[in-house]
Structure 1
Amino acid sequence: MLGFVGDVGDLAKLVMAEDGARPGGGREALEHELADCLWSVLILDHAFRRTMDELDSSISAQLPPK
């Protein structure tokens, strides 16, 4: 999660540079940072789905049969 937050911060700086509000940046750096953020989102999505499946199984096991 901390890596994701750092990547989002770096992305924000690059977007500001692209808009002319900060020095530096460049299109290639922006694309790279977007890819880093997407990777983190995909990993978090996988963890979220796994956790939801575990919760669903746990809750279903506690419910009375239909």
Structure 2
Amino acid sequence: MELGELKSQALRIHDLYDELNRHERGRVWTRDEFMLGFVGDVGDLAKLVMAEEGVREMPGGRVALEHELADCLWSVLILAHRYDVDLEAAFRRTMAELDGSISARLAERRGPK
């Protein structure tokens, strides 16, 4: 699945949450509330990774780990949307920067050929 398709699905769920929150709470989540939700998901993910590594007991196993990874991806896609970030362009740019800096550091450590 392409990033655009993932974003479209994420936005559909975002819109459904907005509708539900309007009915249940009379308002939608703010950007900072989405960020706080993401932080909570990352905390849950950390616990599930620890469980996967055998250092903690956590119900749900692999299915829960997959679910939480998907939740975190959803949050990143929504935060990018809410802050008007072209995530694909930002990802490509960031990976190119990291490629260059890591490759340069490795070249220094390897020394002249």
Question: What TM-score, normalized to structure 1?
Answer: 0.70
List structure 1 segments (4+ residues) > 3 angstroms apart after TM superposition: none
The corresponding residue for 2:73 is 38
The corresponding residue for 1:2 is 36
The one of the two structures with greater contact order (alpha-carbon pairs below 8 A, sep at least 6) is 1
1:28 corresponds to which letter in structure 2?
Answer: V
Give the alignment of 1:1-66 within 5 angstroms.
1-25=35-59, 26-49=61-84
1:45 corresponds to which letter in structure 2?
Answer: A
Q: Mark the runs of 5 or more structure 2 residues left unpaired by the alignment.
A: 1-34, 86-113
* Alpha-carbon distance in 2 for matches of 1:33, 1:17: 13
Q: Mark the runs of 5 or more structure 1 residues left unpaired by the alignment.
A: 51-66
2:38–2:72 CA contact under 8 A, matched in 1: yes
2:42–2:72 CA contact under 8 A, matched in 1: yes
2:47–2:58 CA contact under 8 A, matched in 1: no
- How many residue pairs get aligned? The number is 50
